């Protein structure tokens, strides 16, 4: 407790927003995982970006996107034709270059320098007699290759000074990995707009209405109930010091694949924290004495707050708690005067 009721009131309200955000975020992650949304979005990107067909060693045909998806380096335990929810950039580049440089007449032939990779990128190995890559990707990858050669040539001087440098192929790998990471950022943005935000809005509305989480009523309770306000302030301080909870909340960022069981545990923990807070939630008659417009405004405020996400409120609570706990220490002279 800070000694300033208004600060404790604000902290209590933010703490409730944090708990509701944890519950909502966990439900959203469970929904995304249950419907394999991340897998479907990644698969769509692979099949759209790499849509040229190639002839496989067994005589069958397959698009390059499916070939990358089913590659032993990227597939892990996923079934054939099923994308993972996440592909590491190094594994992606390895599988892509393996397909681009594969020679059916000499399966174990591996490019030894950047010039051989350039030749493979230009080589017409798709079924329609063209390179496997689209013209745009082909030109982009060739520019990365030439930039890798230029970077390597410019850094050779470091060898004379004993400074280790990357090879041309490694520099090229790094450029492709960076391209893949930035592409995944755009894919993540697409998924957020198309799936995460709409699902989060629906889930937030359901959670707020199910719990009757009215920001106006909660604020009045905190203002008129010093004991409850102090209890929530103590619970809030304990929560922001919980390092394990902080790691779990950080993992709720939408660009991280979540395990279904972990999100179920996170959901249980959020509900337990809500029960410990002592805030009067639910649809008891004593909590429904506000006008409909007032309650509607309170619900909307809570929904908008929950939509900000648990990481946002946890970070804000941390900052305010740090400010609350700081201050000038009274001098010994002043203390003696008071005595």
With a threshold of 0.85, does the pTM exceed it?
no
What's the total number of domains in the chain? 1
Distance (Å, rounded) from C-alpha 167 to C-alpha 326?
52
pLDDT of residue 192: 92
Distance (Å, rounded) from C-alpha 19 to C-alpha 17?
6
pLDDT in tens, 97-147: 999 998 877 878 888 889 999 999 998 888 888 888 999 999 999 999 999
Instruction: Say if 296 falls within a structural domain.
Output: yes
CB distance 242 to 21 below 8 Å: no
CB distance 37 to 195 below 8 Å: yes
Instruction: Say if 97 falls within a structural domain.
Output: no
pLDDT of residue 140: 95
pLDDT of residue 329: 45
DSSP string, 3-59: S-HHHHHHHHHHHHHHHHHHHHHHHHHHHHHHTTHHHHHHHHHHHHHS--EEE-TTS
Instruction: Say if 115 falls within a structural domain.
Output: no
Instruction: Say if 88 falls within a structural domain.
Output: no
pLDDT of residue 338: 46
Between the alpha carbon of residue 292 and those of residues 114, 147, 298, the distances in Å are 70, 64, 10
pLDDT of residue 64: 92
DSSP string, 99-118: HHS--TTSTT----SHHHHH
Q: Percentage of residues in the chain with pLDDT exceeding 90? A: 33
User: In 10 A of CB 12, how many CB atoms?
Assistant: 27
pLDDT of residue 317: 78
pLDDT of residue 186: 94
Instruction: Say if 16 falls within a structural domain.
Output: yes
Instruction: Say if 201 falls within a structural domain.
Output: yes
Distance (Å, rounded) from C-alpha 317 to C-alpha 17?
10
Instruction: Say if 267 falls within a structural domain.
Output: yes
pLDDT of residue 1: 47
Q: Which domain holds residue 275?
A: 5-36+188-324
pLDDT < 70 stretches in the chain: 1-4, 57, 77, 156-165, 236-278, 280, 284-289, 321-339
pLDDT of residue 48: 94
Instruction: Say if 181 falls within a structural domain.
Output: no
pLDDT of residue 260: 44
């Amino acid at each position: 407790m800070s000694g300033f009721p208004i600060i404790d009131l604000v902290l209590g309200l933010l703490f409730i927003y944090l708990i509701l955000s944890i519950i909502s975020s966990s439900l959203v992650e469970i929904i995304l995982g249950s419907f394999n949304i991340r897998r479907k979005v990644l698969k769509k990107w692979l099949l759209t970006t790499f849509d040229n067909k190639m002839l496989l060693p067994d005589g069958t045909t397959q698009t390059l996107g499916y070939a990358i998806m089913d590659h032993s380096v990227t597939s892990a335990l996923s079934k054939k034709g099923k994308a993972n929810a996440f592909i590491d950039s190094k594994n992606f580049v390895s599988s892509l270059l393996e397909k681009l440089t594969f020679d059916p007449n000499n399966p174990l032939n591996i490019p030894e320098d950047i010039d051989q990779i350039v030749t493979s990128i230009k080589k017409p190995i798709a079924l329609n007699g063209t390179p496997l890559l689209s013209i745009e990707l082909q030109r982009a990858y060739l520019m990365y290759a030439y930039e890798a050669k230029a970077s390597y040539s410019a850094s050779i001087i470091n060898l004379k000074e004993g400074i280790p440098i990357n090879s041309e192929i490694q520099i090229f790998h790094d450029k492709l990995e960076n391209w893949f990471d930035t592409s995944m950022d755009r894919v993540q943005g697409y998924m957020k707009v198309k799936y995460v935000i709409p699902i989060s809005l629906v889930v937030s509305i359901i959670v707020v209405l199910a719990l009757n989480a009215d920001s106006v009523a909660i604020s009045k309770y905190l203002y008129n109930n010093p004991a409850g306000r102090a209890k929530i302030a103590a619970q809030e301080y304990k929560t922001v010091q919980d390092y394990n909870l902080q790691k779990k909340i950080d993992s709720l960022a939408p660009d991280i694949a979540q395990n279904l069981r972990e999100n179920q545990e996170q959901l249980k923990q959020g509900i337990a924290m809500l029960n410990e807070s002592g805030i009067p939630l639910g649809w008891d008659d004593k909590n429904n004495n506000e006008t409909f417009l007032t309650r509607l405004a309170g619900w909307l405020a809570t929904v908008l707050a929950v939509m900000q996400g648990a990481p946002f409120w946890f970070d804000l609570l941390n900052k305010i708690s740090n400010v609350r706990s700081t201050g000038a220490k009274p001098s010994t002279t002043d203390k003696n005067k008071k005595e």
